[in-house]
A and B are shown apart, each in its own frame.
Chain A
């Protein structure tokens, strides 16, 4: 599948997938269903999460990721790999703040610090087939038994990629 060739008939378009996960388990799942008729080329992954959690006595900076093709349960790596192997760590000063009123409840009423993290990220170029579910498992978050809090407590994920039309699908009338 060629991203920018004329074979895609101009249907190729950038699509960024964003989700804010609230951490409450040793393994958290990010999932996104790819539309029918399109493949999804994941170019880069950005993650940002708070370095410290107010009230917690532990600190986690070693999150690990596992990429899965959910349709056939195939992992894209032999073992989970550390976030900082594919991207600049996202925890640099990214503390969580309560959003002032009026807050947007769809974002858990919290905001991240705008302190920057160098937005340098390796190119992944993971291609997901149409109808598949893009899945990322996040592990190595730490639970503080004293406060009962998880560290980090929120994770922002931004998946930057492209929808690429699969012109073999009937909806395009070609093969």
Chain B
């Protein structure tokens, strides 16, 4: 794009802005402990199609000691820094499978692991069995994922959690909302 030399046309720009604008669609949820397959989903809404360009996300790394390490009777939730959740993405319209298998979240999500206030070792060492959790990474490296999700469809995320504690995950789909009448023709 020739930023300096290009002459902008206000009416064209405004027309374009009314029809297309940047949007981010979140997908959040908690995957139950030991779940074989658990479905999280978000809706694209009938406002218009959604041209996804990138994916980011984060997740917790927790498990429950249940008193097994120190003889405690109460359940203790520990941040062990291990990626327990795998996920598979699917386009709800047409059921198109986009991952060949369940992919561990640490392989593709940025910023990735997040600390949880639920963990007893969130900020301090817990004498006897858990060191303070490592600092959560702050890398931000959105992954390319170019795909157009249809208006009024769902984005499906099938998850597996092999931890014995529920794990919260958040994904964000970065893209462009396509609002033009032509783009949503036949939808509304």
Chain A residues within 8 Å of B, Cβ to Cβ: 4, 10, 13-19, 32, 43-44, 46, 48, 97, 99-104, 106-107, 111-116, 118-120, 156, 158, 160, 162
Binds A, one of B5-13, B21-29, B38-46, B103-111: B103-111
| Contact between B34 and A107, CB atoms less than 8 A apart | no
For B89, the chain A residues whose CB sits under 8 A away are: 16
How many contacts A-B (CB < 8 Å)?
112
B146 nearest in chain A by CB position:
A14
Cα-based distance from A16 to B89 in the complex (angstroms): 9
B64 nearest in chain A by CB position:
A100
5 additional A-B pairs beyond A112-B82, A112-B104, A116-B139, beta carbons within 8 Å, are A19-B101, A106-B102, A107-B86, A115-B134, A115-B137
Cβ-based interface call for B50 (8 A): no
For B86, the chain A residues whose CB sits under 8 A away are: 104, 107
Task: Tell me, rounded to whole Å, the shortest Cβ–Cβ distance linking B55 to chain A.
Answer: 9
Cα-based distance from A39 to B61 in the complex (angstroms): 37
For A116, the chain B residues whose CB sits under 8 A away are: 106, 110-113, 137, 139
Cβ-based interface call for B160 (8 A): yes
Chain B residues within 8 Å of A, Cβ to Cβ: 34, 36, 59, 61, 63, 80-84, 86, 89, 91, 96, 98-108, 110-113, 134, 137, 139, 141, 143-148, 160, 162-164
Cα-based distance from A15 to B96 in the complex (angstroms): 10
Cα-based distance from A137 to B141 in the complex (angstroms): 27
Cα-based distance from A160 to B54 in the complex (angstroms): 12
Instruction: Evaluate whether A18 and B146 lie within 8 angstroms (CB atoms) in the complex, with A13-B96, A46-B108, A114-B112 already known.
Output: no
For A97, the chain B residues whose CB sits under 8 A away are: 80, 82
Partner of A18, one of B84, B107, B112, B148: B107
